[in-house]
Amino acid sequence: MMSGISSNKFLKMEMRQSRWLPALIMAAGIFLYPIPYLMQLTQSSEQYRSGRLSAAAEYVRIKTTTTYAVLGAGNFIALAAVAAAAVLAAAVGFSYLTSRERTDFYHSLAIGRRRLFRLAYAHGWLSAVVPYLCCMLLAYPLIGGLLGTVTWENTGVVLTGIGSSLLAFTAVYSVCVLAFCLCGRILTGILLSGMLLGYGPICYYLIYVLAQQSFQTYFYRPGVWGRLGLYLSPVTAEYFFINGLRPGSIRSGIADTVFESPLAAAVLLLLYAAAAGLLAGRLFVQRKSETAGEALISRRAETWIKVLVAIPGGAFWGLFLGEIFNVNWSGHLSGKLFCIGFAVLGAFLVGGIIEFIFTADLKNIFRHWRSAGIGIAGAAVILSFFAFDWIGYDRYFPKQNELQGMAVAAADSTTAAGYFYIYDTNAVVEVLRSDCDENFARSYAMLEQYREGRTDEQKGITVHVLYRLRSGKEKYRSYSIPADAWHAYLLKQTENPAEREKVYKCSRIRSEELEEVSVSGWELLSTGNDTLSLSGKDAEELVRVLNKDVQRYSLAELQDMKPVGTLRFSLRNEEYAARRDGAFYEVGTIYVYPGYTETIRWFTGKGIDVIVLDEAVETLPIKEWNKDMLVSMGVESLEMYSGTANGVFSFSTSGKDEILQVLQNVEQVQEGVYSDEETYYLYLNYGMNTKSAMVRVLDAEVLKMINEKYNGASATGE
């Protein structure tokens, strides 16, 4: 009976002193949930009534999407709100631990320590959760009912959002409670909460940056171990959990890991909540009243915190100051020693700052030299480990007889066949795996010359490599290859028809992913524009005939031809966002040559004429171009840019008469030779080609027309 009375007394006193927190969370929640929900639904309703939404089904879809984005798991603004609410709730629930008088009073009540912990935990948790649930009830049953969004589907969306938010909040809140059970002051409790929530991801990112800056052949491969640091915090685990609940068509690529399953991420959050809660309860029971007002509950805890912060803090400052002073610490001994010295200084200063937070006395900031020495040594060792490559990462280059297979690929490559771009690291890995075979003698010989990786002096193509060892292991590296050496390698590769598919990445475009094909350099007789939207059979046929044509030629043969047009393939945006498996490509540009007879025939069948350019006109002076040539060559526009220091501006026109008038009243001058008269860079654009020249305008009327255009809306100046 006495225990029940004391428990009620404790709760009443705590709720009376912290009633500001539910009010604050309620006010913030109203601006996060009911108000945005009402505004977006009202806007959609007005659009539907005005006829801007074409169908009732579209209106229903927008209401469901809005419910998900505001009240469901799609409200990512709530991520920050959850973390902030958790810190405040933990501070409120356990704030009495920072006061010796209040601690003695509450501990004198007829309440066991374990029960007191549960009461304090429940008080902080309910102070945040109850106003949140009130906001959700206000938003969905009330506002949603008035505007007709209450359906079984939307109810499931809202309940999923509530469940995910409560689980995420509980995990983050438990970690914050652990921090406050370790501390005797509000400030150190808040700071320690931030440290526990962010330490894992920050250390992970620091190691990633150090590896990227230090190892010249570093290849980052996403995966469970590559992202391990992101799981060492309930905040990032919360992101994975909520992100996994999103529809697959809009899921972000950061969830492409083993924890992409919402269930797995939920289990991880439950583990955080249980582990942090149990440890906090044990510390609460064992802590003494005398620790109220102290920075931490023990000197040992202070030492551990100081060391754990000083080591990555010093390493960060060594790296950061090296970047500020532009120190090439990856290549020169002096630069490495300079950055290590910065790391030692940084660890020393970070340790001093931590001591000041603990003692609030400048006289004591450099006491406890043992912990300071451990932090300094740790920061120096971390930077030395990466700077001097203790594990021999860059020195690794397998012997040829150790390899079962090998593959090379450039994520960003331009050749006579076109420009190709592999959009992310997962796709690069899939490309390398699919291309890996036993015919790697030429690749091995090329890489043997450039095995040291990237240097400041050597600019070129970044080439990614997969070494598949006979033991079954796979090793990935990145090398910088001079552009001419890389292109020479590709020329040799495409001499063998069997190797062309690895070079011409257009052969791997999946027709089902095509959104549209943009065509340049051709006259579209039937459509009247320069974009074709292809899907289904059309896309499949185009990819098939284009691939067949491309495989017929080596790069050397293509270099001797003149393209007749270009194709730009665009993939669906939602597919790009949801893609998590396989090798997918965003192909920048594919050049189409006269020898691509199947492709040209396919476009001709679609009503698209291919203009094969007359190379003879390229040698004519620009003044000799006449109106017939403008029409036959498909000239699209003329552009002129100022060629003197009197200002930079542009003039452009697409009118054939104006283009002809300009061409007939200019004379070419030697490029780089200027006089008092105005000179211009002139560009004549036809198809995918451009005729350029430096010219001087001879006729005053033409010059007046150019100046008028310049002063008008079509000109630009700076």
| Range ranked top by mean pLDDT from 246-250, 602-606, 647-651 | 602-606
In 3-state terms the chain splits into helix, strand, coil percentages (rounded to 5) of 60, 15, 25
Q: What is the pLDDT of residues 108-117, one digit of tens each?
A: 777 788 888 8
Strand ranges (E), 527-634: 531-532, 565-571, 585-592, 608-609
Question: Confidence class of residue 35 from pLDDT cuts 50, 70 and 90?
Answer: confident
Which residue reads 């036959």 in tokens?
632
- Between 6 and 65, name the one with better pLDDT: 65
Q: Which strands sit side by side in the sheet containing 412-415, from one edge to the other?
A: 412-415, 418-422, 585-592, 565-571, 514-520, 531-532
Does the pLDDT of residue 223 top 50, yes or no?
A: yes
Distance CA 399, CA 379 (A): 35
Q: What is the pLDDT of residues 481-507, one digit of tens each?
A: 887 888 888 888 888 888 887 787 665
- The phi, psi pair for 202, rounded to 5°, reads -65, -45
DSSP for 320-361, please give it: HHHHHTT--TTT-HHHHHHHHHHHHHHHHHHHHHHHHHHH--
Which whole-number Å values give the CA distances from 448 to 395, 406, 440, 454, in the listed order?
Answer: 12, 13, 12, 14
Question: What is the structure's pLDDT at 628?
Answer: 65
**Average pLDDT, stretch 654-661?**
81
- Between 481 and 532, name the one with better pLDDT: 481
Closest Cα partner for 214 from 323, 354, 112, 324? 323
- Map residue 668 onto helix, strand or coil: strand
- Map residue 682 onto helix, strand or coil: strand
Question: What is the structure's pLDDT at 177?
Answer: 93
- In this structure, the number of other CB atoms found within 10 A of the CB of residue 324 comes to 10
Does the pLDDT of residue 385 top 50, yes or no?
A: yes
Cα of first residue to Cα of last residue in the chain, in angstroms, is 83
Q: What is the pLDDT of residues 577-597, one digit of tens each?
A: 334 333 334 456 777 888 888
- Between 464 and 299, name the one with better pLDDT: 464
Q: What is the pLDDT of residues 245-264, one digit of tens each?
A: 654 433 333 334 434 567 77
Q: Which residues contact 643 (CB under 8 A, 6 or more apart)?
A: 674, 678, 679, 680, 681, 694
Does the pLDDT of residue 199 top 70, yes or no?
A: yes
* Percent of the chain residues past pLDDT 70, beyond the cut: 71
Q: Quick one: how far is CA 647 from the chain centroid?
A: 39
Which whole-number Å values give the CA distances from 490 to 493, 555, 567, in the listed order?
Answer: 5, 8, 22
Closest Cα partner for 602 from 675, 542, 687? 542
- Between 613 and 664, name the one with better pLDDT: 664
Q: Quick one: how far is CA 316 from the chain centroid?
A: 22
- Between 657 and 472, name the one with better pLDDT: 472
Q: Which residues contact 245 (CB under 8 A, 6 or more apart)?
A: 72, 73, 160, 164, 262
Using CB atoms within 10 Å of the CB of residue 489, give its burial: 0 to 12 exposed, 13 to 18 middle, 19+ buried.
buried
Token pair of 12 as six digits: 């009443």
Question: Confidence class of residue 466 from pLDDT cuts 50, 70 and 90?
Answer: very high
Residues 157, 160, 166, 171, CA torsion sign: negative
- Map residue 550 onto helix, strand or coil: helix
| Among 40-44, 395-399, 469-473, 711-715, the least confident range | 711-715
Closest Cα partner for 402 from 479, 472, 477? 472
Question: What is the structure's pLDDT at 7?
Answer: 63
Does the pLDDT of residue 426 top 60, yes or no?
A: yes
* Percent of the chain residues past pLDDT 90, beyond the cut: 8
Does the pLDDT of residue 21 top 70, yes or no?
A: yes
| Among 210-224, 262-276, 480-494, 510-524, the least confident range | 510-524
> By the 8 A CB rule, do 433 and 594 touch?
no
- Between 203 and 18, name the one with better pLDDT: 203
Q: What is the pLDDT of residues 182-195, one digit of tens each?
A: 888 888 888 899 89
Question: What is the structure's pLDDT at 581?
Answer: 36
Token pair of 428 as six digits: 């690069």
Which residue reads 């070129």 in tokens?
460
Does the pLDDT of residue 434 top 90, yes or no?
A: no
Residue 246: half-sphere exposure toward Cβ, Cα within 13 Å: 24
Does the pLDDT of residue 330 top 50, yes or no?
A: yes
Question: Confidence class of residue 173 from pLDDT cuts 50, 70 and 90?
Answer: very high
* Strand pairing category for 418-422 and 585-592: antiparallel
- Helix 234-244 to helix 152-182 angle (10° resolution) is 170
Token pair of 294 as six digits: 């102290």
Distance CA 221, CA 207 (A): 14
| Range ranked top by mean pLDDT from 13-27, 40-54, 361-375, 547-561 | 547-561
Closest Cα partner for 268 from 321, 224, 232, 298? 232
Question: What is the structure's pLDDT at 614?
Answer: 46
Question: What is the structure's pLDDT at 415?
Answer: 78
Q: What is the pLDDT of residues 663-690, one digit of tens each?
A: 888 877 654 444 445 677 777 777 656 6
CB-based burial, 415-431: b 16+ in 10 Å, e otherwise: bbbbbbbbbebbbbbbb
Question: What is the structure's pLDDT at 292?
Answer: 78
**Average pLDDT, stretch 344-362?**
82
Question: What is the structure's pLDDT at 254?
Answer: 37
> By the 8 A CB rule, do 34 and 138 touch?
yes
Helix H segments across 94-222? 100-107, 113-137, 145-146, 152-182, 186-214
Question: What is the structure's pLDDT at 539?
Answer: 73
Which whole-number Å values give the CA distances from 549 to 420, 546, 564, 595, in the listed order?
Answer: 17, 5, 14, 8
**Average pLDDT, stretch 183-211?**
88
- In this structure, the number of other CB atoms found within 10 A of the CB of residue 284 comes to 23
Token pair of 482 as six digits: 């001079």
Question: What is the structure's pLDDT at 672?
Answer: 43
Using CB atoms within 10 Å of the CB of residue 175, give its burial: 0 to 12 exposed, 13 to 18 middle, 19+ buried.
buried
Question: What is the structure's pLDDT at 517?
Answer: 65
Type of residue found at 436: C
Does the pLDDT of residue 170 top 90, yes or no?
A: yes
Helix H segments across 215-291? 234-244, 262-286
Question: What is the structure's pLDDT at 278?
Answer: 94
Angle, CA 120 vertex, CA 114 and CA 123 arms, to 5°? 140
Residues 423, 424, 425, 426, CA torsion sign: negative
- Between 464 and 76, name the one with better pLDDT: 464
In angstroms, how far apart are the furthest CA atoms of the chain? Answer: 108
Question: What is the structure's pLDDT at 8?
Answer: 67
Closest Cα partner for 481 from 428, 398, 415, 409? 409
Does the pLDDT of residue 51 top 90, yes or no?
A: no
Mean pLDDT score of the chain? 76
